[in-house]
Amino acid sequence: MGRKVDEDELIERWTLVGDELGQVAGKRGATRLGFALLLKFYTHWGRFPRGRGELPGEAIGYVARQVGVPATDLGFYDWDGRTFEYHRAQVRKFLGFRECTVADADKLAFWLAGEVCQRERKVERVREELLAHCRAEGIEPPTSGRVGRIISSALSQAEKALTLRVAGRVPAGAAARMTALIAEASDDADGSADHGEDGRELFAQIRSDPGNVSLKTVKEEIAKLRAIRAVGLPAGVFKGIAPKVLAAWRTRAGMEAPSHLRGHPEEIKLTLLAALLHCRERDITDTLVDLLIAVVYRINARAEKKITDEFVADLKRVSGKENILFKITEAAVGAPDGVVREVVFPAAGGQGRMMELLAEYKAKGNTFRQHKQRVFKASYTNHYRAGLIELIGALDGRTTRSTGRSSRPWSWSSGTRRRPPTPPSTTPTASGCPSRG
């Protein structure tokens, strides 16, 4: 163990109490100290130490003082042979544990496959569950290598059961379309075979990340979304599948080359492809929403910049407006009963000058906001309109109320909710998909 143990830990983990004292009473010398250490180590860690090196020096001294044996006598304790095996058997019997048999190992693998591995894929987490279950069942954990084999068997059993379940939910037509999707797909990272509109295979396009914010990117993401929906996967294909498991399948399908995917057994191939398409549909939908927001923001920002530039340019072009206004005001105040033609027009530089200023003001509008709205509308109408309408049409918007009511479809075109003929029976659950990419 090679670490120092503080006083609190010594008292909590290494103090002999109750019947434990009776177990060491009949032993002498090194066997007394060795047995006491085995007993306390097993009580806390659920296994025996692999040798003296796993026992902290502070613990050895603390237990030695309790049993009245010099700590140095532990050097005479035999860690192999009949005495050591006898002590191990005594400790197991006293604590109610037994060695792990072949039948126990099979049962542990079966339990892991059904109770743990269908929701957890990380080996370390599965190992923790296994050791905790062994302790609860009074089974001494097997060796590290045997534990690894049990976990491997359980993960394999769980994978087979889950993939058979998912593949059984995929309709024959959808299965055929998924198989066709990778039938001739290239293993090139960029899918360079000329199968798509942009020179890439459809499967490579589906797995690719979105580009920069532009109408081209919007159209590419819409094409991906429509291709995925055209496969026809049912909504409940991953019902009851843990998010971690789905995420692992999606990651695996995103990393494997098409040739590797084609080489899998049918149930694994369909499960991996379904996981990829299911999660990519959600990723791309999120991307389209982000693109919608970004495009609208870009239109607004460009309109604001254009109008700001025009106003700045306008101020430079008619920098004498302030002086004209001052002269008009001064003339009007000086001759309040005078005739406009005789008082105001001369101060402004003539009637023609006044007409020019009026025409310019009418052409520009009366507020910054009106100017920006006009430019925003023109930009949308001339460049973005078709792409944004297509984007909104591709989104299947839903709202989920926090009150627990079932979600209702949202009509993007009218901005109002449409009541479905029959309300859904359940609220959609989280997808469990990893972040996009």
Residues in the chain where the model's pLDDT stays below 50: 1-2, 191-199, 315-316, 318, 380, 397-431, 436-437
CB-based contacts of 264, cutoff 8 Å, min separation 6: 272
**pLDDT score recorded for residue 70:** 92
**pLDDT score recorded for residue 340:** 80
CB-based contacts of 55, cutoff 8 Å, min separation 6: 1, 37, 41, 49
**pLDDT score recorded for residue 348:** 75
Main-chain dihedrals φ then ψ at residue 417, nearest 5 degrees: -80, 145
**pLDDT score recorded for residue 272:** 94
Residue with token string 């109770």 = 115
CA distance 392 to 411: 10
Angle between helices 102-115 and 123-137 (to 10 degrees): 120
CA distance 110 to 132: 15
CA distance 405 to 98: 52
**pLDDT score recorded for residue 421:** 39
**pLDDT score recorded for residue 312:** 58
Say what the pTM is.
0.58
Yes or no: say if 36 and 66 are a contact pair by the CB < 8 Å rule: yes
**pLDDT score recorded for residue 187:** 80
CB-based contacts of 211, cutoff 8 Å, min separation 6: 217, 220
- Percent residues over pLDDT 90 in the chain: 27
Structure tokens at 131: 């050791």
**pLDDT score recorded for residue 369:** 59
CB-based contacts of 186, cutoff 8 Å, min separation 6: 192, 193, 201, 204, 258
Per-residue pLDDT of 123-174, as tens digits, reads 999 999 998 998 888 888 888 899 999 999 999 999 999 999 999 999 999 9
- For residue 410, what are the β-bridge partners? 417
Per-residue pLDDT of 247-295, as tens digits, reads 999 999 989 999 999 999 999 999 999 999 999 988 888 888 777 777 7
Beta-sheet strands, E only, within 312-435: 398-399, 408-411, 416-417
Nearest to 379 by CA among 288, 303, 295: 303
Quick one: which H or E segment has residue 286? helix 266-317
For residue 45, the Cα-to-chain-centroid distance in whole angstroms is 34
Exposure b/e, 299-315, CB count within 10 A at least 16 = b: beeebbebbeeeeeeee
CB-based contacts of 35, cutoff 8 Å, min separation 6: 23, 24, 27, 87, 90, 91
**pLDDT score recorded for residue 189:** 56
**pLDDT score recorded for residue 426:** 37
